[in-house]
Chain A
Amino acid sequence: MAQKLKFGNGTWATKKGSTLAYNDENNNYKPLPFSFTRDSIATRVNKEGLIEVVGNNKPRIDYKDSAEGVFLLEKASTNLLTHSSELTNSSWVKTNTGTGSAPSITSNYSISPDGTQNADRVIFNLNGGTANGDISQVSVTIGSVSSASYTNSVYIKSNTANNYDLVVTDPSGGHIIKNISTEWQRFDNPRENVTNASFRIRLRGDEGTSDYADVSIWGAQLEQQSFVTSLINTSGSTVQRAADTANGAGNSEVFNDSEGVLFADIAANANDGTERELCINDSSTSNRVAVRYRDSNDDIRAIVRSSGVNTLNVTIGVGSVLLYNKVALKYKVNDFAFWINGFEVATDTSGAAPSGLDVISFNDGSSSDFYGKTKEISYYDEILTDLELEYMTSYRSLNELVTELNLNEL
């Protein structure tokens, strides 16, 4: 089988404006880079597990989910909190009512998830109070917003050997208890139909929290999204992280119009109600070999489109698009198949092959940008056997399967 394009699978090379895919046939290495844009800085988890800021137009290889790294693409988002890690700032209101004490805050007390000593210590105390009016709280109120989904998120850890039960509210003020351990954890609370947005961290007498908590807090974020995105640091004003785009890898010599296989090992960032596509195309939407996250939850669609007509168009439900799914789309005149995680989930024995394929993009050739995490992309310029497709889209051992899907958390 002739593998014409490789991307990822633990081999990453990036620079400003570019991330490398390549061809290595006959040990001749040929660059096939994606053009990359993001008109802002952004953060990622680096190989050392630390949160790191990367510059404008710098692709992000994120190591949160995988020791091998994944290529992270996100939509634009804005942190509406003006001081994400400075809880001494007056934008964070310290409240004490009833028996509760006003939270005591020490700046730059502990090492934060970015590896520097910039996390604030916050001591909450109810002093034994058990009533609704007994409160010890830090909060930011954004106020009235047009009804939409918002998500609160924050990193918290215990400063002592004890775990604490602390409330982190959702953006509408719904109280959700979080168990704070001695390790940094990121907690996120999405909420639909928010009309009055706020962010509160507290102990309260009647909410089942601990009576006392000595914790470090860092990286608070309130964004107009139905899910949490990567951290956007703020210090004095709201900050927007611009959308990532990656397009334009390959050329007409790489892609075979007559037959081929597109393989991808990918996970969505969320079921966000939008269409998100990865495809080989003819620099338009008319001819495509595409895999696409649907606007419906946990559905993946395979499309082969020839001269503006879909010759294969199937939508397959998967367990979760948030898990990595290995997908392979085979195309040839009157011979199409879609494989997911080792199973052939769709076939079609009639239809034309696409033409003019000359590029692979993290969109549909025009829009429907792909936002998600990519471990690997491969392209073959001839069809593969069922045995090869089964092998390619499955794992070599149970241990590999569990590790790759991060399922070792029970």
Chain B
Amino acid sequence: MANTLKFGNGEWYGKKDTILAYNDENSNYKPLPFNFSRASKATVINKDGLIEEVGNGQPRIDYKDNSEGALLLEPSRTNLIISSNNLTSQWGGYAFSGGNMSVSYGFLSPDGSNNATRLTYTNTSAGTGGALLTQNLNLIANAVYTISFWAKNVSGQKRIRLDLRNSSSAGVSGTYFELTDKWQKYSHTVTNDNATNRGVQIRIIDSEFAGNRVFDMWGVQLEQASYATSTILTQGSAVTRLAESCSQTTPDGVIGQTEGSIFSEFKSLDDVANIMLWMRKSSGGPYGDMIKLECGADNRLRFEVRASNVTSCSFISDVLPTNIYYKVAVAYKQNDFVMYLNGVQISVDTSGNVPTCSEMYVGKYIDGGIRMGVSKDLKLYNTRLSNSELAALTQM
């Protein structure tokens, strides 16, 4: 079998504006670099497990869930919180009914430096007191927002609540989070009410979960979106992380023009489409001639082939449990399309044509829409692998 493109699988190389795929047929190593772009800084979990800020155009290899790393591609997002780490600045609050809260800055954070905020809550009237810490913002009425933050419990009661409210406590309830003694990222999606003067409020209400508590927070983020993305650090103003793209025009011979196979080890994500690979002709519109492998926002795996504006095959899997890695392989040939997931054949189609393709995209819809990508491994073959090879390739 001719493996014409390798990408990832623990071998991540690149620099600003470039990430390397390659071909190593006959022990001749040939670069097939993807052009990468992101016109802003961004954060990523590095090999040491620390959150690291990387510069404009620097591809992100995320080591959050595995030691081999995965390419992380995200859409543009803005953290509306204007002080994400230092909650002694731009945040205001008060305690009531016997509650008392102190807020201090300078504790060890998930980025390995002393820039987290410690909140210490005590009460003299157990079961009745509380404390609030709020950052007032100007939001859009009835829009969907996602609050996310890093936190860890230091001592005492582990529960805290985050709401979409202003300092007068007008707004929408969020949810309670139960912290652990390790830094973790938490998130919750909430729809704003019909007002605009809302923000993020950290609430400790003794009558709901009583007890003194000490906890550290860092990377508080509010995005106008239905899911949380990587942490965007702010210090004095809202910050936008711009969309990423990853694509290349591919030399002849890499993409099989009459037959081929694609393998990917990917993660199914909550509510987010993950484009593992989209290949297309360089002309004729995004959907005329294309081969696309993705896991949709509905967490169903999809393999779609279109030739001359006619659908050749369209496979849709059952809903996949999220946030775990899967191995998928698809093969295409005239009147011969097949998809394997984790060693099992799940779809077959015996009619349809194969398009000619010359461009490939990862983590991106060709029509301009950006989706997320978390690809651990991607391989391309310019032959239709046998069913036994596809089964073996996807064996977990």
A395 touches B28 (CB 8 A): yes
B235 touches A401 (CB 8 A): no
B13 touches A410 (CB 8 A): yes
Within 8 A of A (CB), among B112-166: none
| A391-B28 contact given A208-B237, A319-B34, A409-B14, CB 8 Å threshold | yes
- CA A280 to CA B158, docked complex, whole Å: 75
Within 8 A of A (CB), among B24-48: 24, 26-35
B239 to chain A, nearest CB (A): 8
Number of A-B residue pairs, CB cutoff 8 Å, is 99
- Is A341 at the interface (CB under 8 A from chain B)? yes
Most chain A beta-carbon contacts within 10 A, residue among B15, B26, B31, B249:
B31
Which chain A positions have C-beta within 8 A of B249?
A: 317
- Is B222 at the interface (CB under 8 A from chain A)? no
A409 touches B236 (CB 8 A): no
B35 touches A407 (CB 8 A): no
- Is B307 at the interface (CB under 8 A from chain A)? no
- CA A394 to CA B15, docked complex, whole Å: 20
A395 touches B236 (CB 8 A): no
- CA A406 to CA B61, docked complex, whole Å: 17
| A319-B15 contact given A342-B28, A394-B30, A398-B22, CB 8 Å threshold | no
| A390-B28 contact given A205-B236, A409-B15, CB 8 Å threshold | yes
Which chain A positions have C-beta within 8 A of B68?
A: none
Interface size class of A (residues with CB under 8 A): 35 or more
| A343-B30 contact given A317-B249, A319-B18, A401-B22, CB 8 Å threshold | yes
| A407-B29 contact given A205-B236, A319-B248, CB 8 Å threshold | no
Interface size class of B (residues with CB under 8 A): 35 or more
B6 to chain A, nearest CB (A): 9
CB-CB nearest in chain B for A317:
B249
Which chain A positions have C-beta within 8 A of B11?
A: 398
Which chain B positions have C-beta within 8 A of A179?
A: 53, 55
B34 touches A407 (CB 8 A): no
Which chain B positions have C-beta within 8 A of A410?
A: 12-15, 19, 58-59, 61
Which chain A positions have C-beta within 8 A of B182?
A: none
B251 touches A343 (CB 8 A): yes
Which chain A positions have C-beta within 8 A of B34?
A: 319
Looking at the complex, which one of A317, A396, A400, A402 makes contact with B20 (CB distance below 8 Å)? A402
- Is A149 at the interface (CB under 8 A from chain B)? no
> Which residues from chain A sit less than 8 Å from chain B, CB to CB?
130, 179, 205-208, 298, 317, 319-320, 322-323, 340-345, 390-391, 393-398, 400-402, 405-410
Please give 10 more A-B residue pairs, beta carbons under 8 A apart, in addition to A208-B237, A395-B28: A179-B53, A205-B236, A319-B18, A319-B32, A323-B33, A390-B26, A391-B28, A398-B11, A402-B20, A407-B15
> Which residues from chain B sit less than 8 Å from chain A, CB to CB?
11-20, 22-24, 26-35, 53, 55, 58-59, 61, 89, 234-237, 239, 248-249, 251-254
